[in-house]
Chains A and B, each alone.
Chain A
Amino acid sequence: MRERGVGVTERLGVILFRIVLMLLPGWLRRRAGSEMISIFRERHRAARGASGLVRAWSIELGGALATALRSRLLAPEPGPGTPRRGAARRSLMESLGQDVRFAFRAIRHRPLPAFLAVVTLGLGIAASTAMFSVVDAVLLRPLPFPEPDRIVSIYPTNPSLRGHPTLGAAAERGTFSYPEFADLRDNRGDVLQSVAILAYSGGILARNDGPAERVPMAATSAALFTHVLPVQPLRGSLFTEEQERDQAAVLLITEGFWERRFGRDPDIVGRVLELGEGMQVVGVLPRAFELAGWNVDAWRLMPPGENRGNHSHYALGRLAEGVTPEAAAAALTVAFNTAAPDDVGHGEHAINVFDRRSDETRRVRGPLMLLAGAALVLLLVACGNVAVLLLGAALDREHELSVRGALGAGRRRLAQQLLTESVVLAGLAAAVGVGLTSLALRGLVFLAPTGVPRIASATVDGRALLAATVFAASCGILFGLAPALIFSRTDGQRSLGGTRGGSLKGRARIQGMVVAGELSLATVLLVGAGLLGRTVLALSNVQTGYALDELIMVRLSIPFDRVLAGMEDVERQSTAQLAYYDRLQQEVAALPGVSGAAFTSNVPLTGDMGNNDISPEGYVGEPLIAERRFVSYDYFDVMGMRILEGRAFDELEDQVDAPATMVISEGVARLAFGDESAVGKQVSYWGRPTTVVGVVENVRDESLDRGTDLAFYVPRRQSGQYYGQLVVRAGTDPRSLVPALRQRIQEVDPGIAVVAIQPMTVNLSSELASERYRARLVAVFSALAAVFALLGIYGVTARSVASRTRELGIRKALGAERQSVLGLVLKQGVRLAVWGGTLGFVLAWLGSRFVESYLFGVSRADPVTIGGTAFFLAAASMLASLAPGVRAARIDPVEALRAE
């Protein structure tokens, strides 16, 4: 029957179900098979959501399996009255039914190899399907907006930053200032249908029932929701052009925020939220409106700005019909540069236009493909393992098959039966795989580092499941067919005669080759896991240059609109602000267990960035861009940073009217002044000549893998820049201090919204999250692959001992020592490991090019990893062949010779 309009998952489910139905006794299958399939369909369609689907499938597939068992073991075939066809005209279907029964019996007869094959393949299918489902959700699925291919990210370039150690990324993807964006918007011509500006913003929402709450927000253009990413509001309406023109204080909130904060209050539209200023909610955005990197609770309209130097705005656009990103980039670059006022100019800045989906997934694409590759290798190893098991089973059963051949079973009939067995195994494995896939997928999503776009929306991908299952099934068929072919070449007579001759050796060799191949792939994964694991270790052991373990970061959002309300005079405002900060710092520092608290513009390991051109006196060369830190005078002391030359700031320098001073990093000192002393030299930033009073050690505060070598520090009052961010040094365990800190801050002012208070070690582990994820997954894959491969070694050596009983017996009769017999078997296992391992190391060397960019502190030819893997392979392969070896050593020569 043709199925039209039927989903992939349903079709796949029906295929699986049909496979399982083959296990049912013929009478039941004939009677109820087609109805069972239609019930399977009904239940599939009635299922809601992924969990409903899993439930439906497990009820039906599990139920059919259980019924197969029960009807075969407990229920005899119904008596006369059941319509049956005459035995004389056996149709193909009927013989197939018999084969399935045989297959079932064979599985019951030799449960262990069948169980291992099913579990191995099931795991392989689950791992690869789950991984590809994630790849599909993150990388392949189009963005959830109409005509998603036309959505683009737009950036100004900054060619002078190309190759800069920390700012290099901004060379191709810079940020706009508002006037620059306006130049772009107003001169975009006909390549961009629409364009919207985006910038992060935020507000404090006071609460009656607890501490104030920080609401992450973004500001944008009305066009974002109407043209660039068209969306239907869940409630109310979107921003209008009139509101944008009038700079109305209006708000669109997200469904998540609506639910969490307002309990889905139906009267939300029209309400005014006090977020510094009163902002009226005009609409609710549905959850489906998801923009990677902009995980905010509310959107407001962007007020126009004048400052050409404030580069903190992003742009998203929708291409006009038929325009490519490249063509748009070229046209916009020309427009952008001719639009700039003569006295400003955009200099070397060009415009980059990237397809939005590939732009937002650019950081995760490589790692995800790497993991998907690893999962595929695991599936290959699993297939190899099944091949070994099936080949082995065929060798074991050669005798049985010969007997059946001699009794008149046709060759084709026997081949068909072996085939059926492997298909049944593959079908069972697929059923196991289906069950495990959703579990594996849940694990993958749960463990994933933050910032992987749309990973939460990953669902079991029917196509991937189908592909993996078909792959596994063809694997089963291929290796089921191999023994069938081998058998058909066997001389039944000879086999029955009992002399196990040369052809057997040939087949054992095929098996050995497959095991060696498995081992080589497992080696590739082991080496990969080793390299990635050592990367995590190396990163967590990085010397940061400050007392990371004793520090707590405190990020606050302070309600200055309220604190400074009624103060018209700027001077008075600034004094009040500083007094507020001072009180906060004193209160925090006075807390028992706190040994110091300092303000900073950039908290280490949080992604905070800030940098400036600096011009040291007498320095000629490339323009110097250095990290900029505005800190309170005791910052170095609290952080535990070493002053290498000169001194740290003193309290008198952290004053508004103090003479301009700065501390520079060792890196800047070396680059600008070479061997000369930097102390007393002049360095300008923002056009302010400033005296260097000290040189501080280079630290790693932006990221672990790159030092912040070029940096300068300025007392915050001199800079006039204040941030509600503290680093707090704990004398004792920082973790235990967090609740007290939080409470103390609420006591200072319940209107403060705590953005984050956490030990800096938490920052460290979130820095390492992606590296850990990669290392963990590859480690799991490689461990599974290694176990599969070692099972292969065990299988091959055990079988070889069994088939060489006679030979080993003779050896012992001729005086061979136990040890030498044991050694003989162990050597066989180790030989497989050597072949597989050698090939594996070559493959790993070729493949490690793909991981090289994810490594830190280890080379891809890391001797520890390679040595460790080699040692593991040798030891594990010996262990795997130990049991068969001991069995061989215990062979009683008399018994062995008599048995044959």
Chain B
Amino acid sequence: MDADLSAHLPLAHLPLHVLLALAEGDRHGWAIIKRIEELTSGTSSPSSGSLYLAMTRMQERGLIEEIPAPDEDADARRRYYRITGLGERVLRAEVERLAQIVGVARAARVGPPVTGTVRS
């Protein structure tokens, strides 16, 4: 694993989901919240407060960046965000880390039975 990536790991629940949402495409704040709701089947709906607190820190760490709004969006108050190259690498590293944990857990017969193939 990349050494400078490990400083960003592990990712907390919210930053991880923000990165997952932005990995699919550029989004504004409300769209990120809606996507996180979908990703977690509605169990998690971050408030705007915690979202922006988290995203501000993620911006400082260079994981995401703000981009100009696409032309079709008339609502000028909306700000759009994009995942950075670093963000993508951190996300990948985090997912690998999680997969590893899942693999270990499965080997110890913890959690649901394996239904597909898992690479560890």
Residue A24, interface by CB 8 Å = yes
**Chain B 37-50 per-residue mask, 1 if CB under 8 angstroms from chain A, else 0:** 00000000111111
How long is the Cα–Cα vector from A75 to B79 in the complex, in angstroms? Answer: 23
Report A29-80 residues with CB < 8 Å from chain B CB.
31-32, 34-36, 38-40, 42-43, 59-60, 62-68, 70-71, 75, 78-79
Tell which of A34, A71, A79 touches B77, judged by Cβ atoms closer than 8 Å: A34
Q: How far is the CB of B31 from chain A (nearest CB, A)?
A: 9
How long is the Cα–Cα vector from A170 to B60 in the complex, in angstroms? Answer: 78
Residue B106, interface by CB 8 Å = no
Task: Determine if B79 and A35 form an interchain contact, defined as CB atoms under 8 angstroms apart.
Answer: yes
Residue A81, interface by CB 8 Å = yes
How long is the Cα–Cα vector from A40 to B75 in the complex, in angstroms? Answer: 15
Tell which of A36, A42, A78, A79 touches B52, judged by Cβ atoms closer than 8 Å: A36
**Chain B 47-60 per-residue mask, 1 if CB under 8 angstroms from chain A, else 0:** 11111110111001
Q: How far is the CB of B28 from chain A (nearest CB, A)?
A: 8
Residue A28, interface by CB 8 Å = yes
A39-B29, A70-B53 given as contacts; is B47 within 8 A of A63 (CB)? Answer: yes
Task: Determine if A78 and B49 form an interchain contact, defined as CB atoms under 8 angstroms apart.
Answer: no
Tell which of B29, B47, B51, B57 touches A75, judged by Cβ atoms closer than 8 Å: B57
Tell which of A40, A43, A63, A79 touches B50, judged by Cβ atoms closer than 8 Å: A63
Tell which of B45, B48, B57 touches A36, judged by Cβ atoms closer than 8 Å: B48
Chain B residues in 8 Å Cβ range of A32: 48, 52, 55-56
Chain A residues in 8 Å Cβ range of B30: 38-39, 42-43
Interface size on A, residues (CB 8 A): 27
- Of residues B48, B52, B57, which shows the largest number of chain A Cβ atoms within 10 Å of its Cβ? B48
How long is the Cα–Cα vector from A857 to B60 in the complex, in angstroms? Answer: 74
Tell which of A28, A39, A66 touches B56, judged by Cβ atoms closer than 8 Å: A28
Q: Enumerate the 9 nearest inter-chain pairs by beta-carbon distance, A residue then B residue, closest first.
A: A63-B47, A67-B49, A32-B52, A39-B48, A64-B49, A36-B48, A63-B49, A42-B30, A67-B53
With A31-B56, A62-B47, A67-B53 given, name 5 new contacts (CB 8 A).
A31-B52, A42-B30, A43-B33, A71-B53, A78-B56
How long is the Cα–Cα vector from A64 to B52 in the complex, in angstroms? Answer: 10
Closest partner residue, chain B, to A82 (CB atom): B60
Residue B92, interface by CB 8 Å = no
Chain A residues in 8 Å Cβ range of B52: 28, 31-32, 35-36, 67
Task: Determine if B47 and A60 form an interchain contact, defined as CB atoms under 8 angstroms apart.
Answer: yes
**Chain A 178-198 per-residue mask, 1 if CB under 8 angstroms from chain B, else 0:** 000000000000000000000
Task: Determine if A64 and B56 form an interchain contact, defined as CB atoms under 8 angstroms apart.
Answer: no
Chain B residues in 8 Å Cβ range of A71: 53
Interface size on B, residues (CB 8 A): 20
Closest partner residue, chain A, to B57 (CB atom): A75
Chain A residues in 8 Å Cβ range of B75: 38
Task: Determine if B57 and A64 form an interchain contact, defined as CB atoms under 8 angstroms apart.
Answer: no
**Chain A 217-235 per-residue mask, 1 if CB under 8 angstroms from chain B, else 0:** 0000000000000000000
**Chain A 62-105 per-residue mask, 1 if CB under 8 angstroms from chain B, else 0:** 11111110110001001101000000000000000000000000
Closest partner residue, chain A, to B28 (CB atom): A35
Q: Show 24 residue pairs from A and B whose CB-CB distance is below 8 angstroms, ordered by the A residue.
A: A24-B49, A28-B52, A31-B52, A32-B55, A35-B29, A35-B52, A35-B78, A35-B79, A36-B52, A38-B77, A38-B78, A40-B48, A42-B30, A62-B47, A63-B49, A63-B50, A64-B47, A64-B48, A66-B47, A67-B47, A67-B50, A67-B52, A70-B50, A70-B53
**Chain A 556-567 per-residue mask, 1 if CB under 8 angstroms from chain B, else 0:** 000000000000
Chain B residues in 8 Å Cβ range of A24: 49
Chain B residues in 8 Å Cβ range of A28: 52-53, 56
Closest partner residue, chain B, to A39 (CB atom): B48
Chain A residues in 8 Å Cβ range of B46: 63
Report B57-76 residues with CB < 8 Å from chain A CB.
57, 60, 75
Chain B residues in 8 Å Cβ range of A34: 77
Tell which of B49, B53, B56, B79 touches A60, judged by Cβ atoms closer than 8 Å: B49
Chain A residues in 8 Å Cβ range of B29: 35-36, 38-39
Task: Determine if A59 and B53 form an interchain contact, defined as CB atoms under 8 angstroms apart.
Answer: no
Chain B residues in 8 Å Cβ range of A63: 46-50
- Of residues A39, A63, A64, which shows the largest number of chain B Cβ atoms within 10 Å of its Cβ? A39
Task: Determine if A66 and B49 form an interchain contact, defined as CB atoms under 8 angstroms apart.
Answer: yes
Q: How far is the CB of A66 from chain B (nearest CB, A)?
A: 7
- Of residues A34, A35, A36, A60, which shows the largest number of chain B Cβ atoms within 10 Å of its Cβ? A35
Chain B residues in 8 Å Cβ range of A79: 60
How long is the Cα–Cα vector from A40 to B47 in the complex, in angstroms? Answer: 9
How long is the Cα–Cα vector from A65 to B50 in the complex, in angstroms? Answer: 10
Q: How far is the CB of A582 from chain B (nearest CB, A)?
A: 63
Tell which of A38, A42, A59 touches B47, judged by Cβ atoms closer than 8 Å: A59
Task: Determine if B56 and A59 form an interchain contact, defined as CB atoms under 8 angstroms apart.
Answer: no
Closest partner residue, chain A, to B51 (CB atom): A39
Task: Determine if A39 and B33 form an interchain contact, defined as CB atoms under 8 angstroms apart.
Answer: yes
Q: How far is the CB of A41 from chain B (nearest CB, A)?
A: 9
Q: How far is the CB of A58 from chain B (nearest CB, A)?
A: 9
Chain B residues in 8 Å Cβ range of A40: 48
Closest partner residue, chain B, to A70 (CB atom): B53
- Of residues B49, B55, B77, which shows the largest number of chain A Cβ atoms within 10 Å of its Cβ? B49
Task: Determine if B50 and A66 form an interchain contact, defined as CB atoms under 8 angstroms apart.
Answer: yes
Chain B residues in 8 Å Cβ range of A75: 53, 57
How long is the Cα–Cα vector from A32 to B30 in the complex, in angstroms? Answer: 12
Closest partner residue, chain A, to B53 (CB atom): A67
How long is the Cα–Cα vector from A31 to B48 in the complex, in angstroms? Answer: 12
Report B3-27 residues with CB < 8 Å from chain A CB.
none
How long is the Cα–Cα vector from A38 to B47 in the complex, in angstroms? Answer: 12
Closest partner residue, chain A, to B66 (CB atom): A31
Q: How far is the CB of B108 from chain A (nearest CB, A)?
A: 34
How long is the Cα–Cα vector from A43 to B78 in the complex, in angstroms? Answer: 14
Report B68-120 residues with CB < 8 Å from chain A CB.
75, 77-79
Closest partner residue, chain B, to A33 (CB atom): B52
How long is the Cα–Cα vector from A141 to B35 in the complex, in angstroms? Answer: 39
Chain B residues in 8 Å Cβ range of A43: 30, 33, 48
How long is the Cα–Cα vector from A70 to B49 in the complex, in angstroms? Answer: 10
Q: How far is the CB of A59 from chain B (nearest CB, A)?
A: 5
How long is the Cα–Cα vector from A70 to B57 in the complex, in angstroms? Answer: 13
Q: How far is the CB of A569 from chain B (nearest CB, A)?
A: 69
- Of residues B29, B50, B52, B56, which shows the largest number of chain A Cβ atoms within 10 Å of its Cβ? B52
